[in-house]
Amino acid sequence: MIKTINAEEKYYIYTPEKETLPKAILQVTNDIEAEFLTSNGVIVCGTEGNDLHALYETMRRKYRSLPYIMMGQGMGSYLVRDYISEHGKNIDGAVLVDVNPKKDHSYKQIIKKIKKGKWLPNVPPSLSIFTDDEALNDTFIEAELNDVTNKSYSETNLLDFINYVYEGVIASKIL
């Protein structure tokens, strides 16, 4: 894993070793342990500020064809939701971890909003919500939301979602 830091623009990038071809970009709002992801071909980047779009544009200039996924955990999930509201169609996937459904009123209201496309306007093609809240997981299962995964957060579940987005993006380019 190679770490690049840009102190002036306040962002960092973890890239796979040269022998591992990159297959996706994961932009995070919270620093995460990147070694597992980079060893599996994922470029992990993040910013110390709140300007998610500036880092998105920087990464897109360098890696135009890779699937782009944003991830927010806890309070960072609100930053990602705000970003999606404006720029969600620019990215291929989003991951929200430890979402606080109480701010969004109730689980059933979240489901209704997602189904109507109103919870997150401009939602990207793939959305994953990782939560240990069993009531929220049960609600997602009952609603049969195909574009929302509902698992507990782990590096393996995150990588599974990234691979799912990658395969969808590659398939859409072939068709």
Rounded to whole angstroms, what are the CA distances from 17 to 37, 54, 105?
11, 25, 44
**How distant, in Å, are the alpha carbons of 79, 80, 111, 162 from that of 83?**
6, 5, 20, 19
Number of domains, the chain: 1
Helix spans in 20-150 (H)? 35-39, 52-62, 75-87, 107-116, 134-143
Q: Specify the pLDDT at position 132.
A: 57
> Per 3-state DSSP, what percentage of the chain is helix, strand, and coil (rounded to 5)?
45, 25, 35
Place of tokens 């890779």: 66
Q: How far apart are CA 137 and CA 132, in angstroms?
A: 8
Q: Residue 38 has what pLDDT?
A: 93
From the number of C-beta atoms within 10 Å of its C-beta (0-12, 13-18, 19+), residue 16 rates as: buried
Q: Average the pLDDT over 90-106 and give the result.
A: 67
- Answer whether 72's CB lies under 8 Å from 46's CB: no
**Considering the chain, what is the average pLDDT of its residues?**
75
- Of 2 and 51, the structure prediction assigns the larger pLDDT to 51
Cα(first)–Cα(last) distance of the chain, in Å? 33
Q: What is the pLDDT of residue 145?
A: 47
Q: How far is CA 131 from the centre of its chain?
A: 14
Q: Is the pLDDT of residue 50 over 50?
A: yes
**CATH code for position 23:** 3.40.50.1820
Q: Has residue 139 got a pLDDT over 50? A: yes
pLDDT(88) > 60? yes
Q: How confident is the model at residue 106 (pLDDT cuts 50, 70, 90)?
A: very low
Above 90 in pLDDT, residue 91? no
Q: Regarding predicted confidence, which is higher, 68 or 169?
A: 68
Q: Comparing C-alpha atoms, which of 145, 151, 109 is closest to residue 129?
A: 151
The answer to whether the beta carbons of residues 73 and 80 sit under 8 Å apart is: no
* Domain, as residue range, for 41: 2-174
- pLDDT surpassing 80 at residue 118: no
Most confident of 35-49, 91-105, 116-130, 150-164: 35-49
pLDDT over 90 (residue 79): no
